[in-house]
Structure 1
Amino acid sequence: MKEGLLEKRSDGLLQLWKKKRCLLTELEQHSPPPEPARIKELHFSNMKTVDCVERKGKYVYFTVVMAEGREIDFRCPQDEGWNAEITLQMVHYKNRQAILAVKSTRQKQQHLVQQHGHRIRSSSNSA
């Protein structure tokens, strides 16, 4: 969906900003990336929200909150729009997941109704 350089704040004591090649994807990939360079993959399936968006100087600072509660701080030049793209694509992803969940629930309900109706017809036929 989007690929490029972001700066990620390290978790260490000094909290230095390090450039990372990032890939914004919808789902986790269980195979290694085709390029030998290490890529920080951001998967919507693991994200909860984008938080604390702040513009200072030439950078936009933002925090990606992961599903397990871990927070990852990033910054990028304001004109690259990473935070907006992540937020927009995350909304699309979560909407698709909600639609799939509703469809799945409806299919299960229809299946149960069909099973229940079959049982009622079977028991009335044997009476």
Structure 2
Amino acid sequence: MKTPGEVLREGELEKRSDSLFQLWKKKRGVLTPDRLRLFPAGPGARPKELRFHSILKVDCVERTGKYIYFTIVTTDRKEIDFRCPGESCWNAAITLALIDFQNRRALEDFRGRQERAAPAAQPESRAARAP
């Protein structure tokens, strides 16, 4: 089982800015089982976090000669554009970590529903056995 603080992948990727000129800015990415942290190039700046519970999907994957371009779509339908060198495959690593997170969450939800339903079902089964 993966721990939340475990680093799955670390390295450079680029994020397109929201500014008018939409420049590509280099970031150091740190991928863990529950989030993607983006550290700016400058020292001392705080990282931005994309927690997987707020990510809907990784979309719009396109490969050019040098880069892979991809978009992370958040649950509030915000789109964040990234690119990475083709050999780094950040898009695949993020997609796999997101799927793993969503699967773990679905299992937790399922187990929670089973636990809530189990106490209600037990009295009926005992009553059915009584003479």
Q: 1:13 aligns with which of 15, 20, 23?
A: 20
The letter for the 2-side match of 1:51 is D
Q: Does the CA contact (< 8 Å) of 1:26 and 1:43 recur in 2? A: no
Q: Does 1:25 align with 2:32?
A: yes
1:57-68 matches, cutoff 5 A:
57-68=65-76
Separation in 2 of the partners of 1:21 and 1:68?
Answer: 25
- SS of match in other structure, 1:45: helix
Separation in 1 of the partners of 2:52 and 2:73?
Answer: 11
**Correspondence for 1:31:** none
Aligned residues with identical type, % of pairs: 47
Separation in 1 of the partners of 2:49 and 2:68?
Answer: 19
Q: Does the CA contact (< 8 Å) of 1:4 and 1:22 recur in 2? A: yes
Q: Does 1:91 align with 2:95?
A: no
Runs of 4+ in 1 over 6 A off after TM superposition: none
User: What's the TM-score once normalised by structure 1's chain length?
Assistant: 0.79
Q: Deviations over 1:45-94 (max 9, x none)?
A: 22110000000120000000111211100000000010001111111111
The letter for the 2-side match of 1:39 is P
Larger Rg: 1
**Correspondence for 1:39:** 47
- SS of match in other structure, 1:15: coil
User: What's the TM-score once normalised by structure 2's chain length?
Assistant: 0.76
Q: Does the CA contact (< 8 Å) of 1:20 and 1:40 recur in 2? A: no
Structure 1: runs of 5+ lacking an equivalent? 29-34
Separation in 2 of the partners of 1:26 and 1:71?
Answer: 21
Tell me how many residue pairs correspond in the alignment. 115
Separation in 2 of the partners of 1:12 and 1:26?
Answer: 30
The letter for the 1-side match of 2:50 is L
